[in-house]
């Protein structure tokens, strides 16, 4: 039951008020004064009690508000036309505006019909259950991906809220830069570099330096997982590099970025805490801060997936790891 904000009585209060009149011998005006309502209200609930059956009195159904919906709606859309609107929704998934154009009804009429039928908004497809996995040792699997960031000559609207740009700033065309990242599946240790492109030669050089970084902390990579970007799948130099290190190249299924989810989640953290976490004067200042943020991420930042410990705590071959 939905009581309005100024309601004086709920169902229990209405019963007590009616009992004052029916059993207590109190007049309606006196009962109204005691309950803080008008005499008309007392009469309405006493009348409902008197015409109610024994079951309604016992259950208290006679003290519950009735629906304010009218008994008949002569201007309501006929059932056959309403079914035609609902059928169009099920068939096409269109919104009210497009369905209105097809059926000839007003946009608001279509919206009301869909709402009464429970089709507005359309039912969502059930989400697939998450299938989580984690390789048992550092180096068993590395995830690789890139993230694009816009360059800038002054702080942008993401941190200042000001979207105004002068004509000279629009003509500058400062372009974009890409953060290339490697993330270890077991420890979440990350290695990132900032580059002006994501060409094959850039990717190969980055992976070579990334493998050297992981080797420096005692991690020997065995597998590399990437999406199906051309620079990964058709990069012969990268294939030779991975073969020389005995690393197997895995590719995720098409349109399934969830499989590469650890590096995707890392890039969300990278954007929130490094790219947007501070106000930089220029993108060059932001680039300079990447090394320091990466060290913080690997050695100090707590990770919920690691029970609040930093990634370095899972790299068992690194000396002084727990200090």
User: pLDDT tens, 218-260?
Assistant: 999 999 999 999 999 999 999 999 999 999 999 999 989 999 9
Alpha-carbon distance of 218 to 139, in angstroms, equals: 9
What is the reported pTM?
Answer: 0.65
- CATH fourth-level superfamily of 142-314: Ribonuclease H-like superfamily/Ribonuclease H (3.30.420.10)
Structure confidence at residue 2 as a pLDDT band (50, 70, 90): low
In the chain, the N- to C-terminal Cα span, in Å, equals: 60
pLDDT of residue 317: 58
Q: Per-residue pLDDT averaged across 151-171, rounded? A: 78
**Structure-token pair, residue 117:** 């039928």
pLDDT of residue 172: 73
Contact present, 150 and 194 (Cβ < 8 Å):
no
Alpha-carbon distance of 141 to 7, in angstroms, equals: 64
pLDDT for 319 beyond 60: no
Q: Measuring CA to CA, which residue among 89, 211, 81 is closest to residue 139? A: 211
pLDDT for 321 beyond 60: no
Contact present, 83 and 112 (Cβ < 8 Å):
no
Count CA within 13 A, CB hemisphere, residue 321.
16
pLDDT for 323 beyond 60: no
DSSP state of 311: G
């Amino acid at each position: 039951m939905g009581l309005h904000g100024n309601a004086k009585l709920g169902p229990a209060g209405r019963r007590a008020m009616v009992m004052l009149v029916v059993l207590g011998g109190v007049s309606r005006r006196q009962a109204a004064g005691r309950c803080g309502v008008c005499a008309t209200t007392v009469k309405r609930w006493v009348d409902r009690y008197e015409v109610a059956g024994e079951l309604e009195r016992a259950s208290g159904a006679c003290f519950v508000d009735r629906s304010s919906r009218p008994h008949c709606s002569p201007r309501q859309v006929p059932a056959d036309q309403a079914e035609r609107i609902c059928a169009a929704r099920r068939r096409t998934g269109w919104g009210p505006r497009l369905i209105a154009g097809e059926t000839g009804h007003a946009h608001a009429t279509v919206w009301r019909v869909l709402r009464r039928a429970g089709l507005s908004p359309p039912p969502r497809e059930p989400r697939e259950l998450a299938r989580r996995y984690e390789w048992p040792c550092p180096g068993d699997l590395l995830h690789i991906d890139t993230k694009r960031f816009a360059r800038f000559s002054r702080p942008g609207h993401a941190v200042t809220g000001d979207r105004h740009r002068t004509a000279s700033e629009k003509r500058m065309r400062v372009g974009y830069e890409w953060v290339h990242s490697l993330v270890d599946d077991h420890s979440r240790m990350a290695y990132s570099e900032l580059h002006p492109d994501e060409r094959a030669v850039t990717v190969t050089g980055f992976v070579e330096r990334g493998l050297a970084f992981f080797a420096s902390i005692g991690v020997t990579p065995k597998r590399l997982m990437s999406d199906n970007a051309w620079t990964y799948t058709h990069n012969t130099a990268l294939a030779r590099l991975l073969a020389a290190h005995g690393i197997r190249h895995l590719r995720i299924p098409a349109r399934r970025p969830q499989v590469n989810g650890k590096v995707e989640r890392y890039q969300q953290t990278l954007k929130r805490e490094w790219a947007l976490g501070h106000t930089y004067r220029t993108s060059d200042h932001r680039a300079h801060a990447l090394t320091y943020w990466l060290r913080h991420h690997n050695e100090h930042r707590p990770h919920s997936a690691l029970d609040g410990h930093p990634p370095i705590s899972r790299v068992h071959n690194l000396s002084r790891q727990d200090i």
